[in-house]
Amino acid sequence: MKAIFYKEWLKVRWYFILAIATSLGFSIFSILRINRVIELKGAGHIWEVMIQRDVIFIDLMQFVPIIMGICMAIVQFAPEMYHKSLKLTLHLPYSALKMTFVMLFSGFLLLLGTFFINMIVMNGYLSIVLAPELKWQILNTATVWYLAGIASYFLIAWIVFEPAWKRRLLNIGITLLLLKIFFMSDMPQAYNSFLPYLAIGSILIASLSWLSILRFKAGKQD
Amino acid sequence: MENIIECKNLTHYYGKRLIYEDINFTVPKGRILGLLGKNGTGKTTTINILSGYLKQHSGECRLFGQEIQRMDPSLRQKIGILIEGHVQYQFMNIQQIEKFYSAFYPKWKREAYYELMSKLKVAPKQMISRMSCGQRSQVALGLILAQNPELLILDDFSLGLDSGYRRLFVDYLRDYARSEGKTVFLTSHIIQDMEKLIDDCMIMDYGRILIQKPIKEILDTARKYTFNVPDGYEMKATEDFHYPLAIRGTLETLSFLNKESVEIKLKELGIPYSNLQCSRVDLEEAFIGLSGKY
Amino acid sequence: MTYFSKILLYLIIGFLAMWQLPWCYNFLAVEGSKSGFTLYSSILDDFVFIKHSDAGAVRKSLSGKEFTQNQFDSILPTFYLRQLVTDGRFPDTIKGIPVEPKMVQQENFNYRCVPSDINRPKIGLYSLLESMSKRVDLVMPDDVFRLTDSRIEFIDMKSNSINENKSQIFTAEMKKKGLVFPVKTLSGNPTTRKEYDEGYVMLDANNNVFHVKMTVGRPFVRSVKSPKDVTLKHLFITEFRNRKTLALITDTENKLYVLSPNYKITKVDIPSYDPKLNYITIMGNMFDWTIRITSKTEDNYYAIDNNTYQRIKEHKNKLSSNGIPTLSFTSSLDKFVKPRF
């Protein structure tokens, strides 16, 4: 299992560093933006706008996690599909099912790590300038976006592993619709009651990749 | 003798297109078997089924007695595969790839790999993606040697290799397989390479297996016969005469019969032949004679 | 695992189909029905409406009489006040009462509340304005308050810290007036774009209504006596220009009440209004209110007397909807995202 982590790490290490840098860049930029407003108009302005107009000031971040998830899946799994190197991976004397999930799990962990660092940075700053209610307003709303990042990672993995193009198109269609669910409302905290189910769903769709792997092993073609 | 590969009533279709139906073959332990066939006869299909990346339409295929699609993962320790084009993980260098693979094989022979790598003129940190196909083939071969599998399945090992690397590959492989009694199932589009390497030869035609024989037997018994026939005469192929082809009054055919028997047969068939000549063939000629030029 | 994955995939496909296919059908095939602009005319003692069609706007009363545009202005003098004034047609008296444009304007109000105003995520921080500001305009305060299980807490926005002193003074005053924490719901309109500030109306743990505002930095708390055998539920502060109402209130039976500035609660004579499901629009003038309550299937119009809140007239419009039920994530009734039919 260590060896699988090692291989996944070799594939994604540069991307991982880039992803951390980029997402941190976005978080820090959002923070600076809030800070600037505070300097110009005072903290009260931020509070009032947040309370009365449902503004959360980090809307810039909205699609960052989903793009990070998509890129992570592509960076991690496209090399496996290059000249079908996945055959090498699946030929190793290790259960194909475990292999699939250890690979997905390693990417998932790295993605989670990236998101976690983001959250810690934002949480740190926002705790200083905002009341907990407002901070949670921002972080709760962002959680949906981060979940979308996780879901997009698993869904793109499912698409990348799929051996046949026709089926791949179907997968892409399903993926687009599923990801749309994460972006149905601009209202902060609108997802609160749905969030736990969304989280469970996002994790469960990891299992779809197994179907693609089975089809790969069965040599399915267009 | 124990059969390492056993395929029974193997049938495969791509969509509705039949590739082959009910073919049977076995490969006994310690034999090097080369699969020959023209394009589209199902060589790659067979290799894919054997390496576990194609589920046959029907029939069964066993390696070491286990059904391939449901084989115990640990059994794959005993099977080495070479993917077409000597593909290996592009994103690793020769040290990383060794480190990665060694974790999966308890009996990993690190020295075997590095012995081969030492002869390769690549920097230890050079990515596989930046190696030539020949260098890559050595990496792939080195990994297989270190894995030390009982059975090797090689898909077109000569693809993309120049004659030097091809020779190197063949020599190493033969040496390895012979000295340790390994079983090998391989395809190649360059028949001369196979002639030096294989013990048995299996030739596929569209939808069926033409022959599976020791290569020695083929080379000893296959003969090319040429004789003159009247202009415009066309001879039909029979069980004994493969792909007779007449060009400007000279007819060529391949047969496993000796000259006396051929003369008797030709007379029986009432063929107006004259000037019957007989010559030995190499594997390539035998293959073409058996499977036809077209 | 294979079975699990397959079942999951089929569930997902089924789920998406339930969501997208009926949506497509409804999008292509369904036309919503609309009732036109409808208002009660004090002059005619009837509802009048404008219906827009391809032939142009038709102005009619419920009894079937048709009006020209000018006539229509005249039968709704409080509504078309500005038009009438501009044309020099504004009357001296309406219904025998001498009127001036300014007076009519003072009495007019529009109130609208949609279910998604209530069914929405709440932050739980509120601004309490100074209601006796020495300035002409209202100003936003430097702090916000939250209601905990046991007190009210004011948080200074600049330092992001609790103002203990102010919190204690307000908590003490509220408790003194009989308010029992935690507060269940409250309503206020913290904006400077209004003429006066009444602070908040709050419903305490015992379902009693309290009026809380800040005057000269000090808490002003009044308790309101609830009608007998009624459990109040939703509060809506009004702050209309005419200052004749303090808040609208509904109870658990979906009855509507008016809370007047003298802290009397009067029942409004309409059958039912559920703020969580119905849209309400009130167009008020110096004589009467036209209350429109819209549910999924009906548009109900009630003309209500301005003083007694008794019903003068009513009118019902059936709304047809031939859409098929569909799985959806959002709804016009709330601002949450969750799957529902």
ipTM of the complex: 0.86
DSSP A43-103: HHHHHHHHHHH---S-GGGTTHHHHHHHHHHHHHHHHHHGGGTHHHHHHSSS-HHHHHHHH
pLDDT of C322 strictly over 70? no
pLDDT of C168 strictly over 90? yes
The pTM of the full predicted model, rounded to 2 decimals, is 0.89
- Mean confidence (pLDDT) of chain B: 88
Q: Which residues of C touch A133 (CB under 8 A)?
A: 123-125, 146
- Mean confidence (pLDDT) of chain A: 91
Count the residues in chain C: 341
pLDDT of C35 strictly over 80? no
Residue C321 in any domain: the answer is no
Alpha carbon B44 to chain centroid distance? 10
Which subunits sit against C, judged by 3+ Cβ pairs under 8 A? A
Q: Which residues of B touch A90 (CB under 8 A)?
A: 52-53
Reference C76, options C49, C103, C116; nearest CA is C49
Q: Tens of pLDDT along C111-140?
A: 999 998 888 888 899 999 988 877 778 888
Q: Tens of pLDDT along B267-290?
A: 888 888 888 899 988 888 888 888
Give the pLDDT of residue C54: 76
Residue C288 in any domain: the answer is no
pLDDT of C33 strictly over 60? no
Residue C261 in any domain: the answer is yes
Segment B56-73 mean pLDDT: 90
Domain region containing C132? 120-275
Q: How far apart are CA A175 and CA A169, in angstroms?
A: 10
Give the pLDDT of residue B1: 65
Share of chain B above pLDDT 70, in %: 99
Residue A93 has its nearest CB partner, among B51, B74, B99, at B74
Nearest CA-CA distance, residue A17 and chain C, Å:
32
Residue C188 in any domain: the answer is yes
Give the pLDDT of residue A61: 87
Residue C5 in any domain: the answer is no
B100/A contact by beta carbon, under 8 A? yes
A79/B85 CB distance under 8 A: no
Which residues, 6 or more positions from B80, have their beta carbon under 8 angstroms from its beta carbon?
A: B144, B147, B149, B151, B152, B153
- Beta partners for C222? C211
B151-154 and B79-82: which strand pairing?
parallel
Say if C and B touch: at least 3 Cβ pairs within 8 Å.
no
- Helix (H) or strand (E) run with residue C102 in it: helix C101-107
**pLDDT range class, residue C31, cuts 50, 70, 90:** low
Q: Tens of pLDDT along C171-191?
A: 999 999 999 989 999 999 988
pLDDT of B261 strictly over 80? yes
Residue C169 in any domain: the answer is yes
Most C CBs within 10 Å, among A34, A38, A40, A48, to test the C interface: A48
Reference A202, options A140, A166, A155; nearest CA is A155
Q: Which residues of B touch A92 (CB under 8 A)?
A: 73, 76, 101, 104
Q: How far apart are CA A207 and CA A155, in angstroms?
A: 10
Total domains, chain C: 1
A7/B51 CB distance under 8 A: no
Q: Tens of pLDDT along C190-222?
A: 888 888 889 999 999 999 999 999 998 899 999
Residue C337 has its nearest CB partner, among A133, A134, A194, at A194
B96/A contact by beta carbon, under 8 A? yes
- Mean confidence (pLDDT) of chain C: 89
Give the pLDDT of residue B269: 86
Segment C14-42 mean pLDDT: 80
Q: Tens of pLDDT along A106-163?
A: 999 999 999 999 999 999 999 998 999 999 999 999 999 999 999 999 999 999 999 9
**pLDDT range class, residue A189, cuts 50, 70, 90:** confident
Q: Which residues of A touch B54 (CB under 8 A)?
A: 218-219
**pLDDT range class, residue C30, cuts 50, 70, 90:** low
Residue C44 in any domain: the answer is no
Q: Which residues of B touch A219 (CB under 8 A)?
A: 48, 53-55
B160/A contact by beta carbon, under 8 A? no
B52/A216 CB distance under 8 A: no
- The SS3 of residue B37 is strand
A221/B14 CB distance under 8 A: yes
Question: Radius of gyration (Cα) for chain A, nearest Å?
Answer: 19
A207/C4 CB distance under 8 A: yes
| Ordered structural domains, chain B, with CATH | 3-217 (3.40.50.300), 222-291 (3.30.70)
Residue C241 in any domain: the answer is yes
CA angle centred on C11, ends C7 and C13, rounded to 5°: 120
Q: Which residues of A touch C1 (CB under 8 A)?
A: 97, 207, 210
Identity (one letter) of the amino acid at C294? T
Identity (one letter) of the amino acid at C111? Y
Residue A2 has its nearest CB partner, among B48, B96, B103, at B103
Extract the tokens encoding B285: 């000629």
| CATH number for position C247 | 2.40.128
**pLDDT range class, residue A43, cuts 50, 70, 90:** confident
First-last CA distance in chain B: 37
Burial class (CB in 10 A: 0-12, 13-18, 19+), B76: buried
Give the pLDDT of residue B134: 86
pLDDT of A186 strictly over 90? no
Do residues A153 and A70 make contact, with C-beta atoms less than 8 angstroms apart? yes
Nearest CA-CA distance, residue C1 and chain A, Å:
8
